[in-house]
Amino acid sequence: RVVREAYRVLKPGGRFMCLEFSRVSNPVLASLYDMHSFYVIPKLGELIANDRQSYEYLVESIRKFPAQNEFAQIIRDEGFTTIGKGYENLTFGTVAIHTGYKF
C-alpha cells in the first residue's frame, strides 16, 4: 500500500526511493550477518536501551521484508519505472537503495 500511495502522490517526473535492510547473498557473509543480527543487536539493545525485545522485533521485521528482487518487482507492479534491476546493494547487500520513477 505504501508504494501505491507514493505513486499516487508523486508528480510525473517524481522519484520514489527506499533505503531498507536487505538480504546478503554470499553464504559466508550471510551467516556472519545473521549472527550479528540475532545475537549482537538484541544484546546491544538490552545493554544500551534496556530493551532487548524491541531489537529482536527489529531484526525479525527486517527478515520479513521482501528480498531486493521481490521489492523491486513490487515497485514496478505499482507503476514505477526502474532502471536496471531497480536497486543498488550497499555493504555487501545488508542494505539496498530502491529507486522507481514516475513518468
35 burial class (0-12, 13-18, 19+ CB within 10 angstroms)? exposed
In one letter, which amino acid is 56?
Answer: E
pLDDT digits (tens, 9 = 90+) for 24-64: 989 999 999 999 999 999 999 999 999 999 999 999 999 99
Specify the pLDDT at position 41: 94
In the block, cell 539493545 appears at 45
Predicted structure pTM score: 0.86
